Chains A and B, each alone.
Chain A
């Protein structure tokens, strides 16, 4: 057992502890932070395995961006401070799904690499990685990026919830550019309610007051 093994075990334990905390923590922000610890731990695991580039990518993408976005979103929406529990009461289902995933993935890995023994602890340089991604596997890489882009746009579409597409019609009280100011004498603003079906103006900042 070398020093690296010890470090690997420690980092692995840290990662596992972070993962457990993530799902058990009653406080959403604590859970998000535990998730960040888990992700950073994974970066540490990569590092111990001499995959420096991967480790740094993990840091930039997951700790620096994803975890931050999580926290950011939580704080923008609901960030209870203290003992307010947010529980969806779906523990059994969650346990079943995650357990099933774990079994499937570990079986796959053991089946695929179970007999391979990695001796030389030297990761590939970035030039090797670069050539692998952008020359050999360029098609899957581009497909993946397309997939991500599609997911991104889909998320935006879902989040926008245009009227008429998602059941409930939202009350829209917004004034289009060029509308005359609504006076008492002009009667109730029926026109505005009818305008609710109209397309949103491009750019959220564009809707100025008439």
Chain B
């Protein structure tokens, strides 16, 4: 029933190129919001990583730049801008320059569809989830090109590894996302959040659950695949320092290197945001708890400003929680071997996610 309501609501969802009723200001505001988020939230995530990783390794992390070192990444950015931009002589110069942008822009574009709260998103696409996955799959082009254009064997091998890794882990990622979409009955990210707020297990009506509870396997698959997609440790074979210097980033300096780094941090944020939307109930505080100041479906829609602020904060807190998990895994586990990585994807995650999809689909049809 809930599924039905959300699909009917989606009939009016705009297309990618629809800019509303000619109202320019909200659009500009939203673009500004997205850009601001894009540049601020990854920095916060990066700061969290620095600090948490430092403390887990009995260090302090950054302390000098800004209060408690919170402006360290800003300082790093300024430093990167000042650095000399070195292009190797043998490099394919236009490709070399193009690659970081090609990797970064998709990460930026994903922010368009991610809902941080009721109404706090640039666009609510009917195909939001599909859009996010499609756009992220383009990043690999930039990485491959960067590795090839550097005219360096380490870069090339790093790029190849990245390509192989991204292809391998895109499958379980997308299949799991489809599983969630089947459960929610929609591909719209806002719709999925709403569906979660209304989701109950059969036989346990009146007991609201997020998708993470019935889909704990899916969540685990998605989390692992997301870390591998981002080449985050322990899946950072493409830049494995001990064997490949710095993989496809070996020859990059200055602002181009910073763009690759920003891609990684932005990717962490977008993947975490996707997981929040898909599995953790979006901006809902707790399962079954209505956000104060909100009315509408399940108490999380049509909010007043306070409710919107609370919702955004809840989303950001969840995102940071997932970033923390990623950092935690990074500190705890050593880097995998390349063959182990491929084995995990093709022999474990892909069959598991396919079985999961089949299971969920059959259940959805039967019930």
- A interface list, Cβ under 8 A from B: 4, 7, 27, 29-30, 33, 36, 40, 47-48, 50, 52-53, 55-57, 59-60, 63-65, 67-69, 71-72, 75-76, 79, 81-82, 123, 125-127, 205
Contact = CB atoms under 8 A, between A and B. Distances in A.
A27 B62 CA distance: 45
A65 B174 CA distance: 13
A62 B141 CA distance: 12
Contact of B156 (A7, A30, A75, A127): A75
A81 B92 contact: yes
A66 B171 CA distance: 14
A36 B141 contact: yes
Contacts of B140: 64, 68
Contacts of A52: 15-16, 125-127
Given A68-B166, A75-B144, A126-B126, 18 more contacts: A27-B92, A33-B95, A33-B145, A47-B16, A47-B17, A48-B17, A57-B134, A59-B137, A60-B133, A64-B137, A64-B138, A68-B137, A72-B167, A75-B147, A75-B159, A75-B160, A81-B90, A81-B151
Closest 7 CB pairs of A and B: A64-B137, A59-B134, A56-B134, A60-B134, A72-B163, A71-B144, A81-B151
A37 to B, nearest CB: 10
Contact of A29 (B135, B148, B160, B163): B148
B281 to A, nearest CB: 24
Contacts of B134: 56-57, 59-60, 64
Interface string B4-40: 0001000100011100000000000000000000000
Contacts of B15: 50, 52, 123
The bracket for how many chain B residues form the interface is 35 or more
A83 to B, nearest CB: 10
B130 interface: yes
Contacts of B126: 52, 125-126
Contacts of A81: 90-92, 148-149, 151
B107 to A, nearest CB: 14
B187 interface: yes
Most buried by A among B17, B149, B339: B17
A40 B102 CA distance: 13
User: Chain A binding site: helix, strand, loop or mixed by DSSP?
Assistant: helix
A122 to B, nearest CB: 8
B163 A56 contact: no
Nearest to B14: A52
B170 interface: yes
B141 A69 contact: no
B328 interface: no
Given A59-B138, A63-B141, A123-B15, A53 B130 contact: yes
Contacts of A33: 95, 141, 145
Contacts of A71: 141, 144-145, 148, 163
B131 interface: yes
Most buried by B among A7, A64, A205: A64
A64 B151 CA distance: 23
Nearest to A51: B15
Contacts of B11: 125
